[in-house]
Amino acid sequence: MQLARVPLVNVASAVTESIVVSSSRDHQHQLWKDGPGDSNEPTSVYLFDALSQKTSRNPVLPFFVSFYANGTSTGVLREHALRLNSSLQCDLGKNFPSFCPGENPFTANYTWKATVNTTTPENGAGRTFNLLQFRVCAPGDVSKSPWDLNNDRQDITEDVYLDYLAMGPMLNRVGAKFTIRCTANTTRGYFELPNYWNSNKVGNLLNKWPSEEVLAKSFNNPSANNVGR
């Protein structure tokens, strides 16, 4: 299945539902180690353990995600599988856009209001305050897929702005206010699944999809146009 043909509403719903029930101690069976010569030995990776491997010297997590669970082997067959890996960099102090750019950007606003019954001169009596304000801006077009209709490697960059404002305990002062800009760099491509012919090693990320001649001669993919399962 080509990612560009997947209905985006289905992806958003699945991700939302997963976030609600996920825990840092969940097993991540679809995470594969991303390193030269890694074997297909099944591993039990916790999300917390995976994130703990991110350091200033190694800001990119050494994992990628695939439809197949890590440890999968195709035996004597040679097949490819789709893989995705992302890195994220967030910075404080950026300005929240006055107008979220793009043809159809994703935007969201949340305000938590509360009525305070008090007669102090500062707050008045029965006034309504915005205790919390949260805004989101993801530039672009959420109605279109960023992925091309081919099997070659593709790299995309996406931005999101998060703006947070919370009132202090006296309600007439700002308790916390900041804007964060996060940039995600994602790579989509294919790799050869571990098998007898490659000594059960994880194949490298392919920059170019093999030719029809190479596929017919050396591989057992179900279809040249439908391998991304």
Total count of domains within the chain: 1
57 φ, ψ (degrees, to nearest 5): -80, -25
173 assigned to some structural domain: yes
Q: Does 200 map to a domain?
A: yes
Domain assignment present for 226:
no
Query: Can you give the pLDDT of all 229 residues of the chain as single tens digits?
Result: 467 777 776 777 787 788 777 776 777 788 888 765 555 555 555 555 555 555 555 555 678 999 999 889 999 999 999 999 988 889 987 789 999 999 999 999 988 876 666 555 555 555 666 678 899 999 999 888 888 889 999 999 999 999 988 865 555 566 678 899 999 999 999 999 999 999 999 999 999 999 999 999 999 987 544 444 4
Q: Could you tell me which of 210, 140, 145, 106 has the C-alpha nearest to residue 3?
A: 145
For residue 228, being part of any structural domain is answered with no
Q: Which domain holds residue 139?
A: 3-218
**Within-domain flag for 225:** no
Would 229 be classed as within a structural domain?
Answer: no
Residues 190-223 as b/e (b if ≥16 CB within 10 A, e otherwise) read bbbbbbeeeebebbeebeebbeeeebeeebebee
Determine, yes or no, domain membership for 62.
Answer: yes
Strand-strand pairing, 174-192 and 80-92: antiparallel
Q: Is residue 227 part of a domain?
A: no
